[in-house]
A = this chain, B = another copy of it.
Amino acid sequence: MEDIFGKIGTTVTLSQKIERKIEEAIRSKKLPLGAKLPSEKELCESFAVSRTALREALRRLSARGLIEIKKGSGMYVSEIKIEDAISSLNLYYDLKFDSNLISHIIEVRYLFEPEMARMAAKNRAEEDLLLLSENIKFFKQCDADNTQLEVDTDNKFHLTIAKATHNPVIILSMEPIYSLLPRMRDQFYGNLSGEKAHTIEAHEKIYNAIKDQDSDRAYFEMKKHVDRTWEVYKKHFEK
Residues of A within 8 A of B (CB): 11, 13, 15, 19, 26-27, 33, 52, 55-57, 59-66, 70-71, 79-80, 82, 84-89, 91-92, 94-95, 101, 104-105, 107-108, 111-112, 115-116, 118-119, 167-170, 172-174, 176-177
CB contact under 8 A between A115 and B119, given known A11-B71, A59-B56: no
Do most interface residues of chain A lie in helix, strand or loop, or is the interface mixed?
helix
Min CB–CB distance A69 → chain B (angstroms): 9
The 9 closest A-B pairs by CB, nearest first: A60-B63, A85-B92, A56-B59, A88-B88, A63-B63, A59-B59, A104-B169, A173-B173, A111-B115
Contact A105–B56 (Cβ < 8 Å): no
Contact B80–A92 (Cβ < 8 Å): yes
Q: Roughly how many angstroms separate A184 CA and B104 CA in the complex, as a whole number?
A: 30
Min CB–CB distance A224 → chain B (angstroms): 16
Residue on B with the closest CB to A114? B115
- Contact residues in B for A111 (Cβ distance below 8 Å): 112, 115-116, 118-119, 170
CB contact under 8 A between A85 and B89, given known A56-B59, A177-B169: yes
Min CB–CB distance A140 → chain B (angstroms): 29
Contact A92–B84 (Cβ < 8 Å): yes
Contact B104–A167 (Cβ < 8 Å): yes
CB contact under 8 A between A27 and B95, given known A63-B60, A64-B64: yes
Q: What are 21 A-B contacts defined by CB distance under 8 Å?
A: A13-B71, A26-B95, A59-B59, A60-B60, A61-B63, A63-B64, A64-B91, A80-B95, A85-B88, A85-B91, A85-B92, A86-B89, A87-B88, A89-B172, A101-B168, A104-B168, A107-B169, A108-B167, A111-B112, A111-B115, A111-B119
